[in-house]
Amino acid sequence: MARMKDHDTLQRFLFDGTDIRGEISTLTSSYRKIIALNNYPTPVALLFGEFLVAASLIGASLKHKGIVTVQATGSGPVTAIMAECTENQGLRGIVRGNFEDLGNEESTNSCNITELLGSATLAITVEPEKGERYQGIVEMVSNELSDCLEHYFQQSAQLLTKIQLAASEKSVSGLLIQQMPLTQSPEQADLDWQHLSTLIDTLKSSEQLQLSHNDQLYRLFHEDNVRTFDAQPISFFCSCSLERTQRALVSLGSEELLKTCKEQGLVLITCQFCDQQYRFDEKAIKAMFTSPTNILH
């Protein structure tokens, strides 16, 4: 088997003569760094890796400046898990919960959603810099994140989507194909979709984690006209800003904020990802509510 060559990159592809596009994404060193930093137990690290790579795949569909967030909230040891991706493949993410007691054994290369999240909901938010914010929410109906994501696209966007994710402690990789608006007959589109999604079902986790992107695509689609684009680097960064912090604060209401301000002298928000601090005094809080155009797009 070829050595993994695609460190922290995303590659887009499409199938000539069909209405199907795809992406393949792999995180290695950046993923290892982020899980080591947070000291997540193995099952949590694997699930987090899957969320990060899912955000990378879904973020690749952003056509303009913006952020895609993939997040789940649950009743299990992990209460919240989220990953965000910008239009130029900047990633960040976080996990919340009481999961210190979870074992570190790496029994399989998949992570069980029910064990970690309990009964959970999955939300995907698309936040363009200019334009409407959109959020869709579905129940997490499967133990596999890939199934939950496919269900999400079926339910909230009516987009045929096939996703395969694989995670280990060293790397995470994901492959997505999605139906685009049809230019050919529905019968032909259906045949193409059945053919390509059946091929993806044959892809093993070990292949996703060990083969280069090109080798995976060749292994699956060497008889199909797959056209690849230049690989795009993925980087970890923080997308927090004064504006986003204000937007989050406004939802708490002025009464609550002014009360905190009176008690503590100011409202201090520390970014949970990068420790950046945002300070708001009484004047700044009042300004947020008197000039809502500055906050709401």
Q: Which residues bind Zn ion (CB under 5 A)?
A: 238, 240, 271, 273-274, 276
Burial 86-118 (b: 16+ CB within 10 A, else e): bbebbbbbbbebebeebeeeeeebbbebeebbe
| Strand positions, DSSP E, the chain | 9-15, 20-27, 66-74, 78-86, 90-97, 120-128, 134-139, 161-167, 172-179, 226-228, 232-233, 235-236, 267-270, 277-280
Closest distance to Zn ion from the beta carbon of 271 (Å)? 3
Residue nearer to Zn ion on the CB measure, 237 or 289: 237
Based on C-alpha coordinates, what's the Rg of the chain?
21
Compare residues 86 and 208 and give the one whose CB is closer to Zn ion. 86
Strand 226-228 versus strand 9-15 pairing type: antiparallel
- How far, in Å, CA of 155 to CA of 138, rounded? 8
Contact status, residue 122 vs residue 71, Cβ threshold 8 Å: yes
Closer by beta carbon to Zn ion, 270 or else 294: 270
**Is 191 or 242 the residue whose CB approaches Zn ion more closely?**
242
CB 273 to Zn ion: min, Å: 4
Q: What is the Cα–Cα distance from 49 to 35, expressed in whole angstroms? A: 9
Minimum CB distance to Zn ion, residue 283 (Å): 24
> From the CB of 196, what's the least distance to Zn ion, in Å?
39
Report DSSP state, residue 17. T
Q: Which is nearer to Zn ion, 43 or 93 (CB)?
A: 93
Q: In angstroms, rounded to a whole number, what is the distance separating the alpha carbons of residues 201 and 11?
A: 20
- Provide the minimum distance between the beta carbon of 212 and Zn ion in the complex, in angstroms, as a whole number: 33
Whichever of 155 and 276 has its CB closer to Zn ion, that residue is 276
Contact of 7 with 170, CB cutoff 8 Å: no
Report the nearest approach of Zn ion to the CB of residue 250 (Å): 18
Complex with Zn ion: residue 86 or 179, whichever CB lies closer: 86
Q: Please state the length of the chain.
A: 297
DSSP state of 12: E
Minimum CB separation from Zn ion for residue 272, in Å? 8
Q: Is 77 or 90 the residue whose CB approaches Zn ion more closely?
A: 90
Beta strands at 235-236 and 90-97: parallel, antiparallel or unpaired: parallel
Q: In angstroms, what is the minimal distance from the CB of 94 to Zn ion?
A: 10
